[in-house]
Structure 1
Amino acid sequence: MTVRVLLTDDQPLVRAGLRVLMADAPDLEVVGEAGTGAEAVRLVKDARPDVVVMDLRMPGMDGIEATRIITGSGAARVLVLTTFDDDDHVYSSLRAGASGFLVKDMALEDILAAIRVVAAGDALIAPSVTRRLIEEFAARPRPASARRMPDGITARECEVLTLVGRGMSNAEIAAHLFISPATVKAHVARLFTKLGARDRVHLVIMAYETGLVSPPRRPCT
């Protein structure tokens, strides 16, 4: 199945580079380009992409607001492509509904792979990038009212959520807890249901918001 992609970035060279790269990928099709968030919102209705590759810093409507509108309507999934080291809006973009984010210095082949992952309904949040994201979270003041962990979350599920929030993959969690990867996958699936999370990205956000991965750390009890 061909994945329909809308490229959104205020830098024409970035869009051109991605378009050229995707021209050699038979399963990816660029169905439109936008230079602003407002233009992306308009084009989504006409071009009907499966995935919107979204920059965050753009004139007028930024990528965060555009992401919120697009994902809120269910029109497409959004994959943020930004400069993580100097962009403090990544967390807001995930809360707005983005299925993941990439940094612009990633290999182009990895960007294509990420688009496929998001189009398949999964989230893209590489463990190494997650760890950097958590460092950003930890450096920020705690929210005035942290989210309370819902009732019904077991101690083991709390442990798994903590490790997901620290950026560990299922295989790494399995090795850390001395359980099988299949068992980890089952715990993660139950966390999706109990927490109402759309994907792994939002589990990371919840781990942060409940205090599991930023000081002071709340113990699993």
Structure 2
Amino acid sequence: MTKLYTDLYLADDHQIIIDGLKLLISNNPKIRIVGSATNGDTAYTEILQKKPDIAIIDLRMPGQGGLELINSLKKHVETRFIILSMHNDKRYITDAINYGAAGYIVKNTGKSELMTCLDKVMSGGQFFTDISGNKPQDKKMMFTPRELDIIRLIIAELTTNDIAKQLYLSPYTVETHRKNICRKAGAKTVIGLLKYMQDNGLEL
């Protein structure tokens, strides 16, 4: 009997990335998300239990990273793995291929490329991000150390008041930093800010 759905599992150490993927995939009637994790050890246990058809897994996360997960799971499940990474670099793609990944996409990919990747992997094919058009970044917007502190906490989904308490600043000062950060990054949302950080190779 033909399956009605492709069961998909998601693993990334940033919950906001998982939420973003869920949002992008939610309108596809062929895909059913069966679970998610923010660390490799939980992902290992749940993929072993749920045996999804496809798993999109972060290259680097606490516990087992993406390549380690593929290596430890491929003998036990028939899941096809797609590596999700901030690195648009041939070295990482080659490693993913050598470990047996069926796909590799970068975190700033658009919905169209994500769905193309999933369609190809669901049909038994492979999809790896095209890096042929890559150009080195000529400019990288620099943030102050305090702005970087605030960015880390924004990405961790802390509110302005929480950030103010943690950094011993006034909420007004935090809001001023937020506005400056968004102006520099050209971002209006947390997802936009995270995308900017990844595009420019800035560590969180």
Q: When the two structures are superposed, what TM-score results if normalisation uses the length of structure 1?
A: 0.54
Tell me how far 1:88 sits from its aligned partner. 5.0
Q: Which residue of 2 aligns with 1:64?
A: 67
* CA displacement at 1:45 relative to structure 2: 2.1
- Alignment correspondent of 1:83: 86
Match of 1:101 in 2: 104
Kept in 2: contact 1:71–1:78 (CA 8 A): no
Distance in 1, matches of 2:42 and 2:94, equals: 23
Q: Given the alignment, which residue of 115, 118, 122 partners 1:115?
A: 118
Amino acid at match of 2:117: A
In the alignment, structure 2 segments of 5+ residues that lack a partner are 135-204
Matched, 1:48 2:75: no
The alpha-carbon distance between structure 1 residues 39 and 24, as it changes in their structure 2 partners (threshold 3 A), is same
1:21 aligns with 24
Q: Is the 8 A contact 1:67 1:93 kept in 2?
A: no
- State the identity %: 24
Contact 1:54 1:63 in 2 (8 A): yes
Listed as ranges, the matches of 1:158-177 within 5 Å are none
CA gap 1:94/1:86 in 2 versus in 1, 3 angstroms: closer
Q: Distance in 2 between matches of 1:6 and 1:35?
A: 11
Paired AA for residue 17 in structure 1: G
Do the aligned partners of residues 40 and 132 (structure 1) sit closer, same or farther apart at CA in structure 2, a change above 3 Å counting?
farther
| Partner Cα distance (2:22, 2:128) in 1 | 23
Q: Provide runs of 4+ in structure 1 moved above 4 Å.
A: none
In the alignment of these two chains, the number of paired residues is: 131
CA distance in 1, matches of 2:112, 2:30: 13
Q: Normalization by structure 2: what TM-score?
A: 0.58
Q: Which runs of 5+ in 1 are unaligned?
A: 134-221
